[in-house]
Structure 1
Amino acid sequence: MRAIVVGAGIGGLAATLSLRRAGHEVTLVEQAPRFGEVGAGIQLAPNATRVLRRLDLLDAVAAQAARPSHVSFRTWSDGAEICRYVLGREAEDAFGAPYLLLHRADLHQALAAAVPPGWVRLNTVAVGIDQDDESARVTTASGERLRADLVVAADGIRSAARQWLFGADEAVFSKTAAYRALLPADQVADLDLPELGVWLGPDRHFVHYWVRRGELLNVVAVFTPEAEAEAEAATESWTARAEPGEQLREFDGWDSRVLDVLERAGQMFRYGIHTRVPLARWNIGRVALLGDSAHAMVPFQAQGAAQAIMDAAVLGDALAGATPAGVPDALDRYVRRRLAVATATQADSARAGGDFHLPDGPEARARNARMAAYAAEHRFLPQATAWGVDVLDEQWPC
């Protein structure tokens, strides 16, 4: 069969490769004129790296990654460790796939390199999707109409396809924003930092970890903006820059190591964190959503990219052996297998943000005690209960 995938981000590239593995031809439509180095760090848990192994990409991706031995949760003011969980070899042995820390561009490049060049249409803007009983079509800004047996809309959190399918529906500001930066390893070598650290404080949390084989420290400082600054903080952009020193004012009073990292980062990028309201379905006829267009979530459990990769795996599996006439039923199967899981992950991520940002006092002390008690009984993070699930081995009704 022939498919069109709209959007060449991580989800769109993974979908293209999964459909190729299922034996289908794909036209990948991307509005950018070229693939570039965008974004910063990304975490991939075993539920996602297992899929990369099936796509024969795990070795290439892992060669560019860092593999943390543990994750450490700490208090904001003095850096005291609340608890830690093991990752590294122990997690890989337990779940059958590694936990990797990557620069987003390295993952994107590995996925893009595996797509046949002739399948990619860069600098092509989709302006509409329509369909009938026999085919689906994408109209481009140049007036071209691309025809296929199905269309997969992986066009991100600002998805136009989602609105074409389901009506007006805008991304929702989560009331949180983040500063981000990448620092060379030698710039922070003198600081006593855990490999993967999560520092929790009132209305804020701070995350750092190594990427690109440990050559760069990825830094993400999440905060709840004051009401008068909310409109500016809500800007969703990979390239918007914060005012010099702004991050130091927002994290004033935090542990000296956090402030040292933020100071050495210099001028940081700032972006508003947005989500999408859960949908009751992701597909109509021969057209389906995938990744952030379907279920954009806050990044507080590091599962956004993983869920898109898992969408792609199930999409390819549902369409393996399908005929053009069977596409609507195959897309129904894809959505049944993924919607509930992704929606639950959205909700879990939102709850984690609330838990991370509790004010000092009884609630924060109770959270810390609860986390320490859980870690004393379990080697792995609470969300690790999902890491061992092979998304293609699960049994689902047809």
Structure 2
Amino acid sequence: MRAIVVGAGIGGLTAAVSLRRAGYEVTLVEQAPRFTETGAGIQLAPNATRVLRALGLLDAVADRSTRPPYMSFRTWSDGTEICRYALGRAAEDAFGAPYLQLHRADLHRVLTAAVPPGSVRLGTEVVGVDQDDRSARVTTAGGEHLRADLVVAADGVRSTVRRRLFGADEAVYSGSAAYRALLPAAEVADLDLPAYAGWLGPGRHVVHYWVSRGALLNVVAVFRAPAARESWTARAEPGEQLREFDGWDPRVLALLERAGRVWRYGIHTRVPLARWNVGRVTLLGDSAHAMVPFQAQGAAQAIVDAAVLGDALAGAAPAEVPEALDRYVRRRRATATSVQAGSVRAGEDYHLPDGPEARARDARMAAYAAAHGFSPQASAWGADAVDGQPAS
């Protein structure tokens, strides 16, 4: 049994590892000519780290990560703590796997090392996909035709395969953009910062947490903007981030001022689909359900996709692949679509203007933390990727 995975991001690499464990010969096709250290921080909730443990990768990932003891939500202007949600040992005990924070490149390196180099085709752009009753085929920009029993499209928010399967539906700008930066620990040691915090304000919020074993502080500052292009490499104009967050708590402004390189990117999503698969071809990760990052679940949902995909296809005969892909989509689509919608709602909640609505939100968050300990988004952490049963 052979599979072609299009896209060597986190979802595609995890899918390749999962399919190999299910007995498939996998060809991983990536249009970039080489792997680079794109992105910055990434968060992996227990639903994702449970999968990494099953794939034999958790120890390597955890060795490059930090484990925050809690998340602190704070008001934008003076840093008053709204509430504190439990993480650390409490989350690991409750959900059967840790909550980790790390540099995206560190996760990518672990996943890349788990895929045989000979199965990876870098610098190979896919321009077409087709299929018949017995196999599926991708066409590359160089004119090659690669054939397999199935094709998995993990080619991101601007997926070529999605367009080929379901027609042109462009990525949608969310209305929010973000600045991101990494600061060495020594440069922020005097700021008395929580290890992991979200600062909430009118039309904006800021999140920071430690990556690279605590050597770097990852900072993401989200703001409403009429337009912004999707790019991991676009630089902010000098001082732009300070003007956008003028009047915020001095610690937030110090972070934004001390950041050396500040990147600016527009946050894009995809409209939910009624289905992800056609015959022997299916979508996975951002190509299926790109979401705003306000519940820190984008990568986690792609990782869970990969686990369920491998489980659904294990033992399938060639003729049974379309039915197995149907099972994969049935098990994943509703949950991923729900997380998409919940992430939008979280962003709206974070950005409420000062006044009665924001005060009611703060009281609601504090009451929930007191009653439950964990955040509302923890409802997505407890399902086992294979059997759907709670981890605990």
State the TM-score bracket (shorter-chain normalisation).
Answer: over 0.9
Aligned partners of 1:295, 1:168: CA distance in 2, in Å?
15
**Structure 2 residues without counterparts, runs of 5 or longer:** none
Match of 2:139? 139
Structure 1 unaligned regions, length at least 5: none
Q: Is the 8 A contact 1:243 1:267 kept in 2?
A: no
Which residue matches 1:286? 280
* Residue of 238, 241, 245 corresponding to 1:251: 245
What is the CA–CA distance in structure 1 between the aligned matches of 2:76 and 2:124, rounded to whole Å? Answer: 46
Checking the alignment, whether the CA contact within 8 Å between 1:244 and 1:267 is kept in structure 2 is no
Offset from partner CA, 1:317-350 (integer Å, 9 cap, x none): 0000001100000000000000000000000000
The equivalent residue for 2:352 is 358
- Offset of 1:267 from its aligned partner? 4.1
Measure the CA separation in 2 of the matches of 1:343 and 1:58.
Answer: 26
Instruction: Name the residue aligned to 1:318.
Output: 312
Task: Answer yes or no: is the 8 Å Cα contact 1:274–1:298 preserved in 2.
Answer: yes
Residue in structure 2 matched with residue 164 of structure 1 by the alignment: 164
What does residue 31 of structure 1 align with? 31
Q: Look up the equivalent residue of 1:199 and give its one-letter code.
A: W
Aligned to 1:269: 263
Trace 1:311-390 onto structure 2 (pairs within 5 A): 311-390=305-384
Deviation readout 1:124-165 (Å, 9 max, x if unpaired): 111100000010001111111000000000000010110000
Question: Which letter maps to 1:244?
Answer: P
CA distance in 1: counterparts of 2:370 and 2:323, whole angstroms:
46
Q: Tell me, in whole angstroms, the C-alpha distance in 2 between the residues paired with 1:323 and 1:116.
A: 24
Pairwise CA RMSD of aligned residues? Answer: 0.7
Displacement after TM superposition at 1:13 (Å): 0.2
1:349-388: CA deviations, max 9, x gaps? 0000000000000000000011111111111111112212
- Tell me if the contact between 1:136 and 1:151 (Cα under 8 Å) persists in the aligned partners: yes
CA distance in 1, matches of 2:299, 2:108: 11
Give 1:266 deviation, angstroms.
Answer: 3.5
Separation in structure 2 between the aligned mates of residue 375 and residue 63 of structure 1, nearest angstrom: 29
Name the CA distance, whole Å, in 2 between partners of 1:352 and 1:95. Answer: 22
Q: Distance in 1 between matches of 2:272 and 2:124?
A: 28
Q: Deviations over 1:28-75 (max 9, x none)?
A: 000111111110000000000000000000000000001101100000
CA distance in 1, matches of 2:261, 2:61: 29
The alignment's TM-score, normalised by the length of structure 1, stands at: 0.97
- SS of equivalent residue, structure 2 residue 230: coil
Separation of aligned partners in 1, 2:113 and 2:261: 32
1:302 alignment partner, SS class:
coil
Q: Residue deviations 1:153-198, cap 9 Å, x none?
A: 0000010110000001100000000000000110101111111100
Task: Provide the secondary structure at the position in 2 that maps to 1:127.
Answer: strand
Q: Distance in 1 between matches of 2:103 and 2:234?
A: 19
Instruction: Tell me the amino acid that sits aligned with residue 12 of structure 2.
Output: G
| Matched AA of 1:246 | E
CA distance in 2: counterparts of 1:38 and 1:273, whole angstroms = 16
Paired position in structure 1 for 2:236: 242
Aligned partner of 2:177 in structure 1 is: 177
Superposed CA offset, 1:10-36 (max 9, x none):
000000000001011000000111111
**1:79-100 Cα shifts (integer Å, max 9, x gaps):** 0000001111111111110000
Any runs of at least 4 consecutive aligned residues in structure 1 with deviations exceeding 4 A, and if so which?
none
1:306 lines up with 2:300 in the alignment: yes
- With the length of structure 2 as denominator, give the TM-score of the two structures: 0.98
Partner residue in 2 for 1:217? 217
CA–CA separation in structure 1 for the residues paired with 2:85 and 2:347: 19
